[in-house]
Amino acid sequence: MGVTRDFFIALSKNQLLNSGAKKWGLKMGAGKMVAGTDIDSVMKSVKELNSKGISATIDNLGEFVYSREEATAAKENILNTIEAIQEHGVNASMSIKLTQIGLDVDFDFCLENIREISQAAANYDIFINLDMEDYAHLQQTLDILFALREEYPNVGTVIQAYLYRSEKDLEHLEDVRLRLVKGAYKEIPDVSLQSKQDIDENFLKLIKLRLLGKAFTSIATHDHNIINEVKRFVEENDIPHDRFEFQMLYGFRTEMQQDLAAEGFAFTTYVPFGEDWYAYFMRRLAERPQNINLALRGIVSK
């Protein structure tokens, strides 16, 4: 299983395949997990979610950009998506990877881009989440977050439970809206837990620490055991439902998403879209081997 995961993680980082995928369109079953390649497509998907009592956090896909031209184009796409959220009146926020808007080009250039995005979102009271990427970009992401929050309280980020440092990071983020996840990148044993059991245990530990705090928390998981334990903990500790939400990825466990919303829990679906879908799709295959069957069916159908 570990070999399969490593294989798809390696594919996700292949620049040649990433470039080629932009010309293919949604292939290999990716259309089940990516809400189209343009803004009109994603707005349609978000409206459908909203009709079921589910909000969305939109990811205009793209990462590991190495030129100012690409980063500027990505920034403009994100600004256009923010305008579309306002124009269509949908219940949605934005999730943004800083490497997409220039973090690997120049720190100050990236900070300038995300400031422009944060201001545009603040004008419409739209929340911006800085997606956490691999460990190499973690500290820079937090540095940018702290710089932004001096001006923009509508910005938060993600904490990954498989990293040893995450509990300590929470201490510095007690007033910040966060998404908690298990973690989707392959990291070395020096910085991250490796076994599923250890990761699950730390994930639940971090969730409970946050729920007993004061800031809003998004709990991002498809694991029904984790979800059931959170529901038990919330009830046992009289934690108001407006202090947290559950999150899942677009195209995954859709019935459970609707059931949780129907039960009265705040629920948000992470909705990715765009031409730069390849790396995201490969990481989803790495996370859940069951998704490989979906990909194979997509290939065979072509």
Catalytic residues: 131, 179
Residue 97 neighbours by CB distance under 10 Å? 23
Which pair of structure tokens corresponds to residue 257? Answer: 């998403």
58 DSSP 8-state letter:
E
Amino acid at 242: D
d(CA 118, CA 101): 13
CA 265 to centroid of chain Cα atoms: 19
Residue 121 neighbours by CB distance under 10 Å? 23
Residue with tokens 């903990």: 233
Which pair of structure tokens corresponds to residue 53? Answer: 């009592």
Helix (H) or strand (E) holding 92: strand 92-97
Q: Is 287 helix (H, G, I), strand (E, B) or coil?
A: helix
Tell me the DSSP string of 15-61.
HHHHHHHHHH-S-TTGGGTS--SSHHHHHHHHHHHHTTT-EEEEEE-
Helix (H) or strand (E) holding 84: helix 68-88
Which pair of structure tokens corresponds to residue 124? Answer: 């419409």
Cβ burial, residue 261 (10 Å; 0-12/13-18/19+): buried
